[in-house]
Structure 1
Amino acid sequence: MKILHTSDWHLGRTFKGESLIEDHAYFLSQLMDIILTQEPDVLIIAGDIFDRASPPASAISQFDEFQRQVYHNTATALVILAGNHDSGERIGINGPFADRNRVLIRGRLEKDDTPLILNDEYGPIAFSALPFGEIYAARETFDNTRISSPADVIAAQVECARKHIPTNARWIISAHAFVTGASTTESERSLSVGGIETVSASVFEGAHYVALGHLHRAQKVGSDHIRYSGSPLAFAFDEAGSEKSVTMITLGRDGVSNIELLPLKALRQVRILKGNLRDLENMTNDPNRSDLVHAVLTDTGALVDPMARLRKTFPNAITLEREARQTTQSDGKGRATAKLNDPQAVIREFLTYVRDDAISDNEQAILDTAFKDISNEKA
């Protein structure tokens, strides 16, 4: 059986104020092409479908249209669960009406977490979907006041799900959690305030594959069969240069027989550019000028409106920082040294300070001509 694993779409998210709706549409189109080409038996979406509990209408439309395409145009089964950014009620609203032979949707914590059972040539495969749940909600759901951490919540979910797994079935768990030892990025939201939020991989003992959501880097945790698919888009500049993918696994008679990361191409890459402002301004032949850019300027002098200048070349420059900044003028004490009775010297010093570059011969000639004309007018 072929299982396609993805998570952390964060539909409706912006990148430091820049809309990502077209970037998400580009990803969803690729994902649909992968499904049509690879023909997976199951698609798992392991939480954080949306970026917030009340997503914009455009994000809801994107997800609804994608679900319809998968259900009506393919034979792929769907396993969907809510993450910590999602509203469990919103994700789970269609769960009771879903095709129980092909679709499993889990929005809120449930004590009676019955799996989706599918079959291949080797027998039954049970899919359990464990949505993110808060500690106090878990105490009420599982009637257990000792639950005090995300690890306890996951443990209670796994224990209840395990009771419904047929003895001869292979078991696939999808969950939204922070498993100990995994690598994070800047853009993940903490699962716990003031406490330990990590979960031991051992809690998933007995599962033949664990499809995780929450962390945005594609990675395995402790074992090849416990994996994060990672987010399809980069949401922070610390992910610049990272390769995004979805994970295709093949399940054999005794467990996972093959794992393949299917690469995704971003509509706009997240990039960090470093250099002198003038050099960056001159990169007009760069084929990826629409990328989301963080610039590190190496100029040491003062600069006039560097972001506006940079955006003429890179219109989606988002943030900018100065690697070093000259704080003193030519006398080393932060004072101008040119005398006011020598206006050309004042201009030369100002230009040197602003752009960290001395006046050129051509510029000096222009300056000489201008002052000569002024002198002639006065005469």
Structure 2
Amino acid sequence: MKIIHTADLHLGRQFNGLALDADHETILDQIVSALVDHRADALIIAGDIYDRASPPANAVRQFNDFLTKVASETKAAVIMIAGNHDSGDRIGSMSIMTDTNRALIRGVVTADEKPLVLADAHGPVAFSGLPFAYEYAARECFADEALETPQDVLAAQVAAARRNVPAGARWVLVAHAFVAGGSGSDSERPLTRVGGIETVSPQIFTGAHYVALGHLHKPQSVGSHHIRYSGSPLAFGFDEADSTKVMKLVEIDAAGQVAVEEIAFKPARKVSVMRGRHAELLLGRPSSDFVKAILTDDAPVIDGMKRLREVFPNACELSYEWSERAPSIKSTGGVARGVADPVNVLGDFLELVRAERLSGSELEVAAAALGRLRHQENAE
């Protein structure tokens, strides 16, 4: 059986204030093409279909059009779940009056998780969809106040799903979680409150032949060859600059062993970081990519971003190499200080931006000004 696994579409998202509608349309078309080209039996979308619980209308229309193409142009079944960015009720509403022989859509957690069962020449394959759920919702669903962590919640969901897997069936689990050992990126929202433990053990998935995960935006396997994140189809931050985004083509054999191939997405616009002097960057080949420029110029460039956008219209960030290096605060006389001397701090700053410290006359002016401020504070 052949499966296309993707996740974390984040429809409706922007990149530094720039709309991604056209970029999303490109990757959605590529998913449909992959389903057709590889004659896939199933499409898995492992959560975070939308970027927020109340997505813009254009994002909803875009996804509806995509599902229409999948239904009309392919024979693939669709298995999708809500992620932590989605509204579970919104995703769950898509399952109403849906062909249950060809779709499994899970928006909210249930204590009686029934699979979608497909068949190939070797017998049945059961797909269980486990939507993301916070602890309070899981406690109510399972009537268990002891569910206190994402690990507890997912363990209860897996147990509920395992009970309904037909005997002898190969089992595919779909979940949205941070599995221990995974590598995150800057664009993921935490799955728990501040200070909580959001990771779950890969041992939770014992018995599954393939685990299709969402949440982490980098494609990777965790704990075992068959536990996989597809990653997001688009890069959403400069920490993912020049990375290759993929969907997974998964083939399950008669014994339940999986072979995984990565199909690279071809984004309409890439995410790139450029480094060099401003004048040199302006000589580069024009590009519509999302660009962060790190300038090596010794002094700030007048209208640096405006001029950069004449060549790179989607330039989003501009910084200077020297500004990304933290200044060292120097103390006098080797005495440890709880608070640095303001004159020294000012001297360090000027040395950083103009490569020379305060002159004697400047030192006098700075000291006198700070003295007047201290006097005013004491008078008040």
**SS of 2:35 mapped into structure 1:** helix
Q: Which runs of 5 or more residues in structure 1 are unaligned?
A: 338-379
Partner residue, 1:348: none
Partner residue, 1:366: none
**1:58, CA displacement in angstroms?**
0.8
Q: How many residues were matched structurally?
A: 333
**Taking structure 1 as the reference length, what is the TM-score of the superposition?**
0.85
Partner residue, 2:272: 271
Partner residue, 1:146: 146
State the distance in 2 between where 1:203 and 1:271 align.
Answer: 37
**Correspondence 1:106-255 to 2 at 5 A:** 106-193=106-193, 194-255=195-256
**Correspondence 1:281-300 to 2 at 5 A:** 281-283=282-284, 285-286=285-286, 289-300=287-298
Does the Cα contact within 8 Å between 1:128 and 1:161 map onto a contact in 2?
yes
Work out whether 1:304 is the aligned partner of 2:328: no
**1:121, CA displacement in angstroms?**
1.2
Partner residue, 2:356: 332
State the distance in 2 between where 1:330 and 1:293 align.
Answer: 27
Deviation string, structure 1 residues 268-288 (Cα, Å, up to 9, x no partner): 1100000000111121x34xx
- What amino acid does structure 1 have at the position aligned with 2:191? L
**1:324, CA displacement in angstroms?**
1.7
Q: 1:331 to 1:2 in 2, by over 3 A?
A: closer
State the distance in 1 between where 2:134 and 2:98 align.
Answer: 25
State the distance in 1 between where 2:107 and 2:293 align.
Answer: 40
**SS of 2:64 mapped into structure 1:** helix
Deviation string, structure 1 residues 195-217 (Cα, Å, up to 9, x no partner): 10000000000000000000000
Q: 1:299 to 1:127 in 2, by over 3 A?
A: same
- What amino acid does structure 1 have at the position aligned with 2:234? L
State the distance in 2 between where 1:174 and 1:202 align.
Answer: 15
**SS of 2:226 mapped into structure 1:** strand
- What amino acid does structure 2 have at the position aligned with 1:53? A
State the distance in 2 between where 1:145 and 1:87 align.
Answer: 23
**Taking structure 2 as the reference length, what is the TM-score of the superposition?**
0.85
- What amino acid does structure 2 have at the position aligned with 1:300? D
**SS of 1:43 mapped into structure 2:** strand
Does the Cα contact within 8 Å between 2:209 and 2:258 map onto a contact in 1?
no
Partner residue, 2:338: none
Work out whether 1:4 is the aligned partner of 2:4: yes
**1:31, CA displacement in angstroms?**
1.2
**SS of 2:225 mapped into structure 1:** strand
Work out whether 1:78 is the aligned partner of 2:78: yes
> Which stretches of structure 1, 4 residues or more, deviate above 4 A after TM superposition?
328-331
**1:257, CA displacement in angstroms?**
3.6
**SS of 1:91 mapped into structure 2:** helix
Does the Cα contact within 8 Å between 2:111 and 2:157 map onto a contact in 1?
yes
Partner residue, 2:99: 99
Does the Cα contact within 8 Å between 1:249 and 1:256 map onto a contact in 2?
no
State the distance in 1 between where 2:356 and 2:134 align.
Answer: 58
**SS of 2:96 mapped into structure 1:** helix
**1:333, CA displacement in angstroms?**
4.7
Does the Cα contact within 8 Å between 1:10 and 1:48 map onto a contact in 2?
yes
Does the Cα contact within 8 Å between 2:210 and 2:258 map onto a contact in 1?
no
**SS of 1:96 mapped into structure 2:** coil
Deviation string, structure 1 residues 19-51 (Cα, Å, up to 9, x no partner): 111100111111111111111000000000000
Q: Which runs of 5 or more residues in structure 2 are unaligned?
A: 324-348, 362-380
- What amino acid does structure 2 have at the position aligned with 1:47? G
State the distance in 1 between where 2:136 and 2:258 align.
Answer: 39
Does the Cα contact within 8 Å between 1:173 and 1:211 map onto a contact in 2?
yes
- What amino acid does structure 2 have at the position aligned with 1:290? S
Larger Cα Rg: Structure 1 or Structure 2?
A: 1
**SS of 2:8 mapped into structure 1:** coil
State the distance in 2 between where 1:117 and 1:253 align.
Answer: 15
- What amino acid does structure 1 have at the position aligned with 2:215? H
State the distance in 1 between where 2:189 and 2:222 align.
Answer: 19
